[in-house]
Amino acid sequence: MYLTQVYSVYCSCLSINRSLHVDSPPMVPGQSFSYVHGASSVSLLGQTVGQSLQAAADRWPHREALVFVQDGVRKTFSQFQEDVDQAAAGLLALGLKRGDRLGVWGPNTYHWILFQFATAKAGIILVSINPAYQLKELEFTLGKVQCKAVVCPTQFKTQRFCDTLRQICPEMDTAESGVFRSSRLPDLRMVIVTDSRQTGTVHVEDVMQAGSRQHHQELQDLQTKLSFDDPINIQFTSGTTGSPKGATLSHHNIVNNAYFVGLRLGFNWKPIRACVPVPLYHCIGSVIGGMCMALHGITLVFPSAGYDSRANLEAIQNERCNFLYGTPTMYIDMLGQPDLHNYDLSSVESGERFEVWFTGGSLCPPEVMRKLRTDMNVKDMIVSYGTTENSPAAFVGYPRDNEELKTETVGCILNHAEAKVVDVSSGEVVPLGDPGELLIRAYSVMLEYWDDPDKTSEAIAKDRWYRTGDIASLDRFGYCRIVGRIKDMIIRGGENIYPAEIEKFLHTHPNVQEAQVIGVRDERLGEQVCACIRLKEGLDCSREEIRNFFTWGLNTRWLSHWVEVVLTRWLSHWVEVVLTRWLCHWVEVVLTRWLSHWVEVVLTRWLSHWVEVVIPLG
């Protein structure tokens, strides 16, 4: 294992030394504890989002920056820069000013990324709103950050954005000029609609034409006043401990995270046309997508407003994409298309390689990686890990990492970032390779949770170490293995047990299709472990066989005593339908942690109750 990893790291170094700006894995010299630093000879950037886009437009004016396939929109860097300036001047003309908050609520459209950069140029703080939010979530979000304006389409699929806003703000119906005062949201002044004109709203074209010469001059003057330490984006994260929290990110956070991720991926030495099916409201889309475009001159191709695996394949074929963002679930969906073989997915011209990037910290099964190589012509695959609070990436793999590193780890520590693993109880750094809570300290760690000092102090210590809440282990090369979440950890008689490790082992049994491991109440030990297993179609397996499999397979003397196996068709059906199809789709495709709270509180507790009541253990 050790020699294999040394060779892989060596190959990674060779694969990236094609530019003056190189990125190589760190090595902890003879260190025995879990701390790693991503040392780098490349300096951090001291610039704003607006300055980054201006530099890109000056350097690559005629290069294609954005393609929105479904909407038929194509923009070069100079065209996009011109649109951004018009939109930013228009926002100033409407009375918005530096430090105000503007929410963008909708799917992946040109106007989403337009206002992402326009707000940054004007010093207005962008609030990224999940397009799946319903009335209560939307009202909480807008009220929490005191939004002055919202940008949205009239509707998308079953989501009626304007109708929902009218329920919260009925004053819109009588606002002839598009400006209103809401009793429920006193800070909200206007709704900017991106498609059809609606009563009580401002149309996006009116915004684009509103800026006068004076407003353009004001915008230009602002560029010397804005600081790269200013907050520029609020991203709402999981509500697992209550209401969603607004992770507040600065120019410095997102500019540098996108810059160093781009270097790791090799965006600085080859032309990239990246297919981006991930949502813009999430950091992956807006930062690793949008900001990488501005910093590295890559072309972003958005296949559709909402996720559509067939549209992804068509975009890769027709736009000759050579890079693809996504989660394992997205790739599985594309591989499952019955007419996959009919698409030309070569995208190999002049020696370019078709690469994919796994987002969200989800490990990809080896068989999926193999199918990506054989069925989709994928040459390299890159894994990653991050959180919204980290802007988002903390660990990213190298294109030439071996298969073990790609399937067992979430990549290597990024430049200028520190990571350590500590004991969950004592807070002391654990020995190298041992599991514990993963902490990150870096330029990329958020400023705060908006207007929530208590939650901020819980997440970020005084010495600026950010607590991820993830159980992980580090190796001496800076690679990270994610074991699970602290909140999912089962404590049996004072012993910490990680469900993900058990689930991973269960999946190696030839008869097991899927497994979910949960904790159930126990009077003496506090918790016992229950493994809910769905067998492969047409195969059978007894509880005793599973227990024996644990005994010899995990080589751990006490496993057979606490693992209880539920092999009922009724229960496995619901584990499949509710936990797998529903949860995986929303957690990985929509990339939000909000649902994990409800799975824990509603599904897990409900499930563990019925495991005990309906199917007695032991």
More confident of the two residues 551 and 154: 154
More confident of the two residues 74 and 326: 74
Give the whole-number percent of the chain exceeding pLDDT 70. 81
List every span in the chain annotated with CATH 3.40.50.12780: 2-46+248-485
Averaged over 482-500, what is the pLDDT?
A: 80
SS3 114: helix
Give CA 580 to chain center in angstroms. Answer: 19
* Mean of pLDDT over the chain: 85
* The pLDDT of residue 512: 83
Please check the confidence at residue 482 and state whether its pLDDT lies above 70. Answer: yes
Q: Enter the tokens of residue 543.
A: 């509880």
* The pLDDT of residue 360: 59
Averaged over 228-251, what is the pLDDT?
A: 88
Using CA atoms, how far apart are residues 588 and 580, in angstroms rounded to an integer?
Answer: 11
Please check the confidence at residue 527 and state whether its pLDDT lies above 90. Answer: no
One-letter identity of residue 20: L
The H or E element spanning position 492 is: strand 490-492
Please check the confidence at residue 602 and state whether its pLDDT lies above 70. Answer: no
Instruction: Quote the CATH superfamily of domain 2-46+248-485.
Output: ANL, N-terminal domain (3.40.50.12780)
Please check the confidence at residue 122 and state whether its pLDDT lies above 70. Answer: yes
- Non-local (6+) Cβ contacts of 497 within 8 A are 489, 490, 491, 529, 562
This prediction's pTM: 0.82
List every span in the chain annotated with CATH 3.40.50.980: 87-226
SS3 426: coil
Confidence of residue 10 (pLDDT cuts 50, 70, 90): very low
More confident of the two residues 237 and 550: 237
Using CA atoms, how far apart are residues 443 and 50, in angstroms rounded to an integer?
Answer: 19
87-226 in CATH: which number?
A: 3.40.50.980
DSSP 284: I
| φ/ψ (deg, to 5) at 430 | -90, 160
Confidence of residue 601 (pLDDT cuts 50, 70, 90): very low
Q: What is the pLDDT of residues 70-86, one digit of tens each?
A: 999 999 999 999 999 99
* The pLDDT of residue 348: 43
Please check the confidence at residue 566 and state whether its pLDDT lies above 70. Answer: no
Contact status, residue 419 vs residue 464, Cβ threshold 8 Å: no
Averaged over 123-142, what is the pLDDT?
A: 97
Q: Kindly report the three-state secondary structure assignment for every residue of 574-604.
A: HHHHHHHHHHHHHHHHCCCCHHHHHHHHHHH
* The pLDDT of residue 231: 99
- Non-local (6+) Cβ contacts of 309 within 8 A are 330, 333, 334, 336, 337
Confidence of residue 501 (pLDDT cuts 50, 70, 90): confident
Confidence of residue 553 (pLDDT cuts 50, 70, 90): low
* Topology annotation, domain 489-613: GMP Synthetase; Chain A, domain 3 (3.30.300)
Contact status, residue 441 vs residue 417, Cβ threshold 8 Å: yes
Averaged over 311-317, what is the pLDDT?
A: 97
Considering 235-239, 290-294, 364-368, 505-509, the range whose residues carry the highest mean pLDDT is 290-294
Q: What is the pLDDT of residues 357-386, one digit of tens each?
A: 776 556 777 888 888 989 998 988 999 999
Q: What is the pLDDT of residues 255-278, one digit of tens each?
A: 999 999 999 999 988 899 999 999
